[in-house]
């Protein structure tokens, strides 16, 4: 029984969200981010920062003790950015691509860091007009963090499917529920992480890249899941941006629960099966294409299974840690996502009804502070 098991660590959390700054008249992205960031620095300080494109604003919570605190901070940040945007006559939305904006029309932020990236990656960087959700889970021991990273990879497509929210790109229905990952795949050192058998081999990999001028610092490892180079966290980077705070909080809770469950297995000298990245990549593709619809592969049984069933299995898998983490209510919101559809499903439904991408933008912006 859970009561006889060793108490779990806190598994502190950090949440980063990237928002779209939108002109309420044209519904297009607007390069007025700098004024919003400058205004935000007064009250939010380091919690708000510029991104490569001026129409993107990134926010990050403080270190949160639990999911409830993470929700409170994300809610505050969304409200604050919405207010700052309104002061400039703009609105804010949360989705991983804009339905029709063209990257060629977007201004690059005047910052040495971004100039360096653009100089190195050219149009790959300029065209990277995407928005993501990153979730940090606190792990003090890097060897443990690496083991958890290796094992958690299996669950990335399941989590990804629940967040899909980028079906449109430059005015086209891409046929994918999450096209963001296809855009980001042009960058080097993206996608699912390789398997590493030790921190020493992982550090040797990083050292080789730095020594050979592939990267100037380990932050330029942009995998879907990574050991953060500067914080004592593992960082989940695969997720699309969620429309609402309810969805973001649910995904944060689910990620924390996966880490906690894998850690509990580790304490009992048990580990989850580690599958080949090449196999998990197949599930990631399916999640990007179909979201919560369609099928994923159950590698243990070597059969296709409805994505819904595997997500329900995931909920069962983490069930024994959820109450200790005090996140049952937040994780139960998975059922609402499965019922109402992901952000992508909701975008596509509006477009099917109206054939108007501006109406899709209106839906995205209307959901930004919903439920706060």
Q: State pLDDT tens for residues 195-208.
A: 999 999 999 999 99
The verdict on residue 361 lying in a domain is no
Q: Give the residue-averaged pLDDT of 169-195.
A: 97
For residue 89, the tally of other CB atoms under 10 A from its CB is: 11
The verdict on residue 369 lying in a domain is no
Pairing of strands 172-173, 225-227: unpaired
Note whether 141 and 271 are within 8 A (CB): no
Residue 3 clears pLDDT 70, i.e. is over it: no
C-alpha 225/C-alpha 100 separation (Å) is 29
The pLDDT, as a whole number, for residue 49 is 81
The verdict on residue 93 lying in a domain is yes
- pLDDT tens column, 214-228: 999 999 999 999 999
Residue 34 clears pLDDT 70, i.e. is over it: no
The verdict on residue 63 lying in a domain is yes
- Burial status of residue 300 (CB atoms within 10 A of its CB: 0-12, 13-18, 19 or more): exposed
Q: Give the residue-averaged pLDDT of 284-312.
A: 97
What does the radius of gyration of the chain's CA atoms come to, in whole angstroms? 20
Full residue range of the structural domain in which residue 318 is found = 10-356
Q: Is 164 left (phi over 0), alpha (psi -120 to 50) or beta?
A: beta
The verdict on residue 365 lying in a domain is no
Q: Give the residue-averaged pLDDT of 17-36.
A: 88
C-alpha 236/C-alpha 330 separation (Å) is 18
The pLDDT, as a whole number, for residue 261 is 97
Helix, strand, coil percent values for the chain (each to nearest 5):
50, 15, 35
Q: Give the residue-averaged pLDDT of 92-97.
A: 98
10-24, 101-115, 322-336: least confident range: 101-115
The verdict on residue 39 lying in a domain is yes
Note whether 5 and 264 are within 8 A (CB): yes
**Tokens of residue 122, six digits:** 């050219």
CATH number for the domain spanning 211: value is: 3.30.590.20
Residue 9: closest CA among 128, 133, 141: 141
Residues in the chain: 372
The verdict on residue 283 lying in a domain is yes
Residue 295 backbone phi and psi in degrees, to 5: -135, 150
The verdict on residue 257 lying in a domain is yes
C-alpha 17/C-alpha 248 separation (Å) is 9
Residues 6+ apart with CB under 8 A from 6: 267
Q: What is the pTM of this model?
A: 0.96
Residue 177 clears pLDDT 50, i.e. is over it: yes
- pLDDT tens column, 226-279: 999 889 999 999 999 999 999 999 999 999 999 999 999 999 988 888 999 999
**Tokens of residue 17, six digits:** 């969200």
**How high does pLDDT run on average in the chain?**
94
The pLDDT, as a whole number, for residue 4 is 52
Residue 35 clears pLDDT 80, i.e. is over it: no
Domain count, the chain: 1
Residue 38 clears pLDDT 90, i.e. is over it: no
* Banded pLDDT at 5 (limits 50, 70, 90): low
């Amino acid at each position: 029984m859970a009561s006889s098991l060793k108490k779990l660590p806190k598994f502190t959390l950090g949440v980063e969200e990237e928002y779209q700054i939108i002109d309420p008249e044209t519904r297009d992205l607007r390069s007025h981010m700098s004024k919003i960031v400058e205004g935000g620095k007064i009250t939010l300080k380091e919690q708000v920062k510029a991104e490569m494109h001026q129409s993107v604003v990134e926010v990050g919570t403080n270190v949160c003790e639990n999911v409830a605190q993470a929700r409170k901070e994300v809610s505050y940040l969304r409200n604050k950015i919405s207010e700052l945007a309104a002061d400039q006559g703009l609105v804010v939305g949360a989705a991983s691509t804009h339905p029709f904006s063209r990257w060629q029309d977007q201004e690059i932020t005047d910052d040495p860091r971004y100039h360096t990236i653009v100089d190195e990656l050219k149009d790959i960087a300029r065209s990277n007009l995407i928005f993501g959700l990153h979730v940090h889970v606190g792990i003090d021991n890097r060897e443990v963090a690496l083991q958890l990273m290796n094992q958690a990879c299996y669950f990335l497509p399941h989590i990804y499917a629940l967040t899909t929210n980028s079906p449109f790109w430059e005015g086209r229905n891409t046929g994918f529920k999450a096209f963001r990952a296809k855009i980001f795949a042009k960058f080097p050192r993206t996608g699912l992480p390789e398997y590493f058998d030790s921190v020493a081999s992982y550090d040797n990999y990083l050292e080789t890249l730095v020594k050979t001028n592939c990267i100037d610092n380990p932050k330029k490892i942009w995998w879907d899941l990574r050991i953060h180079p500067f914080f004592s966290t593992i960082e989940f980077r695969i997720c699309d941006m969620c429309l609402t705070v309810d969805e973001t909080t649910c995904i944060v809770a689910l990620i924390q629960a996966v880490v906690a469950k894998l850690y509990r297995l580790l304490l009992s000298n048990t580990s989850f099966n580690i599958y080949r990245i090449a196999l998990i990549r197949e599930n990631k593709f399916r999640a990007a294409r179909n979201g919560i619809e369609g099928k994923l592969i159950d590698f243990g049984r070597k059969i296709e299974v409805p994505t819904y069933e595997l997500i329900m299995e995931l909920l069962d898998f983490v069930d024994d840690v959820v109450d200790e983490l005090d996140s049952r209510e937040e994780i139960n919101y998975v059922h609402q996502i499965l019922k109402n559809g992901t952000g992508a499903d909701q975008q596509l439904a509006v477009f099917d009804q109206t054939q108007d991408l501006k109406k899709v933008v209106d839906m995205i912006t209307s959901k930004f502070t919903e439920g706060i």
